Structure 1
Amino acid sequence: MNESEKIDPRELSPLALAFVGDSVLELLVRQRLVEHHRLSAGKLNAEKVKYVSAKAQFREQQLLEPLFTEDELAVFKRGRNASKASVAKHASPEEYRASTGFECLLGWLYLNGQLERVHQLFEVLWQQFEPDQK
């Protein structure tokens, strides 16, 4: 693999951005959980899943979408509309597409160096999202 040239995030596919965004969200959730809870690894994982599942990300995106800038909304929609061959076992196609769009947005922000914005959105999510709500 030739790593001499860095690829501009604007040139990446929505699914490549979602690949990164999934990890961004998971890392933020894991960090927050271990900073504030003394739980076993198994219980930490069970709590983490409440935030990073397709169903949870769908609800998180709905909570945060009113805060998206015009550019962020365009990136989210690009990710949501990316074609996927499969869907999650425990999510509807709508939930899965929206969660992919949300991951795409997080990946785009992260790769563009907009970490402050990632943290702003995550703080709103952490303060307002109810993970046990169905």
Structure 2
Amino acid sequence: MDKTPAEKIDLREISPLALAFVGDSVLELLVRRRLVEYHRLAPGRLNAEKIKYVSARAQFREEQLLEPLFTPEELEMFKRGRNASRAAVSKHATPQEYRASTGFECLLGWLYLQGNTARIGELFEALWAGYDPAAPGS
């Protein structure tokens, strides 16, 4: 990979799956931070709790919870990521769940690369307040 400074790629030209690549890390970091800040758990328990929020099935349910809060532009970005995802066969999620989780990650990556961390924070707080990882379907 070339290490010389290059011209930044226009955000509109970045593939939805590349945005999801970033968004996956954004959500995972937010969840890890929240767990460490508010719980005294051993690393193994922290990881078990984290998975309840960052698995494809959990992200599918989180996206359903948050979708009514999306702006039209955010909904468009979510759909772009959802539609770009291949319906991979997963042991832990249906193709629908997997595609929706990719769309959600795409949205988070897009917001992050825009520098819109305030909006990410709003969505995360709504997620944390409204999502119950112990509810049926987890």
SS in 2 for 1:81: helix
**Counterparts of 1:100-111 in structure 2 under 5 Å?**
100-111=102-113
| Structure 2: gaps (5+ residues) | none
The change in CA–CA distance for 1:36 and 1:53 in structure 2 (over 3 A counts) is same
**Structure 1 position 85, deviation (Å):** 6.5
Q: Which runs of 4+ in 1 moved over 4 A?
A: none
Q: Provide the aligned C-alpha RMSD in A.
A: 1.1
Contact 1:18 1:103 in 2 (8 A): yes
**2: CA distance between counterparts of 1:36 and 1:64?**
23
**2: CA distance between counterparts of 1:12 and 1:80?**
15
Q: Structure 1, residues 24-74: CA drift from partner, whole Å, max 9, x if none?
A: 000000000000000000000000000000000000000000000000000
Q: Which residue of 1 aligns with 2:124?
A: 122
Contact 2:87 2:95 in 1 (8 A): no
Q: Which amino acid aligns with 2:68?
A: P
| Structure 1: gaps (5+ residues) | none
**Structure 1 position 120, deviation (Å):** 0.2
Q: Which amino acid aligns with 2:57?
A: K
Equivalent of 1:23 in 6, 22, 25: 25
Contact 1:54 1:88 in 2 (8 A): no
Q: Which residue of 2 aligns with 1:69?
A: 71
- Structure 2 residue 55 is the aligned partner of structure 1 residue 53: yes
Equivalent of 2:93 in 91, 94, 106: 91
Q: Which amino acid aligns with 2:133?
A: P
Contact 2:60 2:100 in 1 (8 A): yes
Contact 2:19 2:105 in 1 (8 A): yes
**2: CA distance between counterparts of 1:86 and 1:63?**
23
SS in 2 for 1:57: helix
The two structures have a TM-score, normalised by structure 2, of 0.94
